[in-house]
Amino acid sequence: MPFITKTGFRAFGAVVAAYGAYQSTQICTSMLEKYPPHTPPPTSQLWVPNKQDTSRPTYVPANSPVTYYARVPASLFPQPFSLEEARKLWADAVLHGRLISLEARLAGWINGVKGGEMKPGAKLVGGVLEVVQPPSSTSQLTTRWANPEGGIKFFETVARYGYPWRLMEGGRHDMPVERDGDDVLVGFSSAHDYAVLDGDNKVLPRWAEWAHCMFARFILDDGVKELQRRAEKNAKEH
């Protein structure tokens, strides 16, 4: 009887683990199909590294900047439609999505920073992001972030001794909005900066880059859900 019980628990655990892996694979596959990658235009600030220090030059890998878009009805935004207001609303929806809100609470607790307004230099998401360009009639919200110097230096050192990867210096996110007929394209972009060291072109491992890209897709999806939730709430109140 104990053998049967122990075996049964192991089998049950294996089935649960297999089902969880299957569900995760299905969700990721759905996200990959739903939100394909797009390369930002050459004029995008995503291509411009955060640091312009010639003593420690940085670069943006050619495959790093990427934007994911979702198509939503224009009716989710206040009418008559205003691109400036749409950009503000979309940025706010992304910043209050489930995943970003969780990160903001955790980072805010660690850093002792509360979210600020979307103005140049303001800190968002518990101090993780800094506003470079606020949403307006001519531009979407653009933010930047930086990894801790300690982590960068550690991976820099081990990379010199043969470690095959390197940690990025930091990067940028922006949240584009474009009108497309009766619909609106809302997006979430990401780009990473790396230091030019030893000419080795070492970057994050592919699985880590894949995870970053998948996380960006989930952030976009959360933003869309938050946008829909607000529109439904507004419709009920009016």
pLDDT tens per residue, range 174-184? 999 999 999 99
User: Is the same domain home to 198 and 113?
Assistant: yes
Tell me how far CA of residue 61 lies from CA of 32, 86, 232, in angstroms. Answer: 21, 31, 41
Which one is predicted more confidently, 59 or 200? 59
3 state SS of 59: strand
Q: How many domains does the chain have?
A: 2
Which pTM does this prediction carry? Answer: 0.87
CA distance 25 to 7: 27
Q: Which of the four pLDDT bands, split at 50, 70 and 90, describes residue 23?
A: low
The CATH number that applies at residue 207 is 3.30.530.20
User: Is the same domain home to 63 and 30?
Assistant: no
User: Is the same domain home to 18 and 46?
Assistant: no
User: Is the same domain home to 133 and 192?
Assistant: yes
Average pLDDT of span 145-152:
93
CA distance 127 to 121: 11
Average pLDDT of span 234-238:
78
User: Is the same domain home to 14 and 114?
Assistant: no
User: Is the same domain home to 15 and 41?
Assistant: no
User: Is the same domain home to 25 and 87?
Assistant: no
User: Is the same domain home to 29 and 83?
Assistant: no
Which one is predicted more confidently, 24 or 103? 103
Give the tens place of pLDDT for each residue, 198-222.
778 899 999 999 999 999 999 999 9
CB-based burial label for 32 (10 Å; 0-12, 13-18, 19+): middle
Give the tens place of pLDDT for each residue, 60-78.
999 899 999 999 999 999 9
User: Is the same domain home to 29 and 49?
Assistant: no
Give the tens place of pLDDT for each residue, 38-50.
999 999 999 999 9
Would you state the pLDDT for residue 20? Answer: 45
State the chain's mean pLDDT as an integer.
Answer: 87
For residues 91 and 107, is the Cβ–Cβ distance under 8 A? no
Instruction: Write out the residue range of the structural domain in which residue 176 sits.
Output: 37-237
Would you state the pLDDT for residue 51? Answer: 87
Would you state the pLDDT for residue 184? Answer: 97
